[in-house]
Amino acid sequence: MPSLYFRSEIIYYAAYDQHNLKRKILSLNQTEFMNLSKPNKIILFLSAILSSSFNSFPQQKDTANIVKEEVIITAGMVPVSVSEVPRNVSIIRQEDILNSPVQNLQDLMSYVPGLDVRTRGLEGVQADVSIRGGSFEQTLILLDGVKLNDPQTGHHNMNLPVNTNDIERVEILKGQASSIYGPNAFAGVINFITKKETNSELSANLSGGSFGFFNGGLSVHVPYVDSDNMLSISKSQSDGYMHNTNFDITTFYYKSCVSLNSGSANVAVGYTEKSFGANGFYTTKYPNQWEQTKTLLVSTGADYSFGQVKLIPEVFWRSNQDHYLLDYTNPAFYMNDHKTNSYGAELRSIFLTNVGSIELGGDLNFDNINSSNLGIHSRREGGISAEYVTSPIENFKVLLNGFAYNYDDYGWKFIPGLDLVYQISNNFNCYTSFGKSFRIPTYTELYYNSPAQKGNALLQPEEAISYETGANYNAASFSGNLSLFSRNGKNLIDWAKGFNDINGKYLVQNIAAINTYGIDMGISYCPLFGFDSYLKKIILNYTYLKSNFNETNLLSQYILDLLRHQFIAEITHSAPLDIIFSWAFRYENRYNFDSYFITDLKLSRSFNNFDLSLSALNLFNKLYVDITGIPLPGRWIKAGINCRINNF
């Protein structure tokens, strides 16, 4: 038995596969063992101890230390592996969600480089998410590929009718994606992808903490014949961290996936209801604002394959109700009731040919609003899409895509895009991309009128041309990315007023052309299992943005105070007693704002069937704001327990 080969084999099994390590040890007879060299006997002895320890003590569930599996992502119309994606894409995996100090999807986005999450209160009661200096209206939100953007206002886009524990991963495509997804994918796309389990599982979680915080949830996965059925419900509430910041949130989600001979089909129903104090949310003049939202999503879809052809139909309905009081102590003073409905159908087809893959698609969508303030309106939109992926030479791919979209009020718009990617190695590629983007105004931007704000029915759609070039490296333990990008926008929409207009309203305007450019870079290191038992993960990211808008006479509510510098770091390491420390650091420097540095920390310990955690958000009790006049909470302590039963 060659000494070097045996030694490397045993080390490999010790690091990656304890089951085969046991089998290898047991397969040795006495003669073979005695013939081993002294170094190999020592290695075998230590490996046996290692194998035994893995089965004697409960371990923290930490898949960050397992070799990364290839993930297929939907950054284009035709899905590709993460190692081949021709764009800057961030992926939040399930283990990242479990280890994160923050435990709601809205706050989780604040640790994605290039994303600007501006929250108004606790636990994501309302969060505006923008990408690379765009506005929150310019980010497309998806749930399993279903579009969730609200036609009334982007403030409701993150009303996600799904629980955090239901999410398998999150894909964030940064940069224009209108040529792939159509309107609203102006600055990027966030796709929340739910779990698909093959085994039965029942889990319950309970947590509490500062500010009278309470959260409880229950979820169950039940495979039956060829289907996977998931049901979850959660409840969270808090007294608030200052006057009128209390909240009460209920979320329900059900999904069933059925395997078919030629593919699969699914149906999903999600509902979330939020009631919350909105101190200073839309104007600092009224500290007693109050709001309640109710969001319902129903969708069904399928995935059929017939030889070299795949068909993906989808139908959805999203309903959102928004009840708003300017002063809850005097409801009759000013009250808004809005109800919107969005529904539509989409069909995508993918053809694999000898000269490349071809995607053809079409969708038809309707939305309407019945509002005490905005009136009654409806509109229709629809279009056709196409993408052609080819490889004219080895390791070089061309992705040509486009969307032709039609609106009732604006006619046809053609949105082209082009991606070029060169695969330098299995783990390393470089790319360049070009594309146009497009967004129509929301109903609030067109028609809203309040004591503090006024809409504009004459608004024109936003348009932009984006460019990007960069490189991605993805290996088992190390990954990195670097991208340079620019977006030349015109007719960009914002609420603004003059700096000297103290008592005037914010008016919606098509602000003059704004060019935004920047750099996005990051590295991550996750040691392979068995080679570093202390350090589990380290991630460093930096984003720089600059805008050439030179207007100094306007006070902007949203797009003119983008992040200039953003630095994000995450470190996960172990400690005695198998306690896992998860640190998250975030530095942000915004135009016209003071910079701040926030530290979050989570301590967790896993046992056979339950996990314990203790989190400290804003550990050093920093005073900071994301939006003028709305101070965010100081130090916030939470403790929680999660129990699970598998294969019941």
CA 572 – CA 570 distance, rounded (Å): 7
pLDDT digits (tens, 9 = 90+) for 100-139: 998 899 999 999 999 999 998 888 899 999 999 999 999 9
CA 446 – CA 227 distance, rounded (Å): 45
Q: What is the pLDDT of residue 621?
A: 96
Q: How far apart are the first and last CA of the chain?
A: 45
Which amino acid is present at 558? Y
Nearest residue to 131 (alpha-carbon basis) of 623, 530, 483, 409: 483
CA 250 – CA 234 distance, rounded (Å): 6
Name the CATH topology of 63-646.
Answer: Maltoporin; Chain A (2.40.170)
State the pLDDT confidence band at 32, using cuts at 50, 70 and 90: low
| Residues in a beta bridge with 20 | none
Sequence-separated (6 or more) residues with CB below 8 Å from residue 503: none
Cβ-count burial 120-145 (b if 16+ within 10 Å, e if not): bbbbbbbbbbbbbbbbbbbbbbbbbb
pLDDT digits (tens, 9 = 90+) for 409-434: 889 999 999 999 999 998 899 999 99
Phi and psi angles of residue 124, each rounded to the nearest 5 degrees, phi first: 65, 30
Q: Classify residue 573 by its DSSP letter.
A: E
pLDDT digits (tens, 9 = 90+) for 182-204: 888 999 999 999 998 878 999 99
Whether 296 shows a pLDDT value over 70: the answer reads yes
Q: What is the pLDDT of residue 463?
A: 95
pLDDT digits (tens, 9 = 90+) for 57-90: 333 344 333 334 455 555 555 566 665 677 889 9
Q: What is the pLDDT of residue 103?
A: 84
CA 363 – CA 346 distance, rounded (Å): 4
Whether 7 shows a pLDDT value over 80: the answer reads no
Q: What is the pLDDT of residue 549?
A: 74
3 state DSSP class of 493: strand
Q: What is the pLDDT of residue 548?
A: 85
Nearest residue to 283 (alpha-carbon basis) of 630, 562, 633: 630
pLDDT digits (tens, 9 = 90+) for 242-289: 999 999 999 999 999 999 988 999 999 999 999 999 998 888 888 999
CA 269 – CA 251 distance, rounded (Å): 11
pLDDT digits (tens, 9 = 90+) for 128-167: 999 999 999 999 999 999 999 999 999 999 999 999 999 9
Sequence-separated (6 or more) residues with CB below 8 Å from residue 155: 126, 128, 136
H or E segment to which residue 414 belongs: strand 411-423
Whether 35 shows a pLDDT value over 70: the answer reads no
Of 292-296, 485-489, 499-503, minimum mean pLDDT range = 499-503
Phi and psi angles of residue 258, each rounded to the nearest 5 degrees, phi first: -120, 130
Q: What is the pLDDT of residue 139?
A: 96
Phi and psi angles of residue 132, each rounded to the nearest 5 degrees, phi first: 50, 45
Q: What is the mean pLDDT of residues 331-359?
A: 93
CA 105 – CA 484 distance, rounded (Å): 27
pLDDT digits (tens, 9 = 90+) for 586-620: 999 998 788 999 999 999 999 989 999 999 999 99
State the pLDDT confidence band at 5, using cuts at 50, 70 and 90: very low
Q: What is the pLDDT of residue 560?
A: 77
pLDDT digits (tens, 9 = 90+) for 510-548: 987 899 999 999 999 988 765 556 889 999 999 999 988
Q: What percent of the chain has pLDDT over 90?
A: 67
Tell me the HSE value of 119 on the side-chain side, using a 13 A CA sphere. Answer: 17
Helix ranges (H only) for 369-503 are 443-447
Instruction: Tell me how far CA of residue 109 lies from CA of 14, 244, 338, 497, 633, in angstroms.
Output: 36, 25, 27, 30, 18
Q: What is the pLDDT of residue 198?
A: 78
Nearest residue to 630 (alpha-carbon basis) of 220, 112, 128, 259: 128
State the pLDDT confidence band at 405, using cuts at 50, 70 and 90: very high
Helix, strand, coil percent values for the chain (each to nearest 5):
15, 55, 30
DSSP string, 230-290: EEEEEEEEE--SSTT--EEEEEEEEEEEEEETTEEEEEEEEEEEEEEE-TTSS-TT-TT-E
Mean pLDDT across the chain, nearest whole number? Answer: 86
CA 85 – CA 81 distance, rounded (Å): 6
Q: What is the pLDDT of residue 87?
A: 82
Delimit the domains of the chain by residue range: 3-56, 63-646
Nearest residue to 254 (alpha-carbon basis) of 218, 272, 229: 229
CA 515 – CA 126 distance, rounded (Å): 28
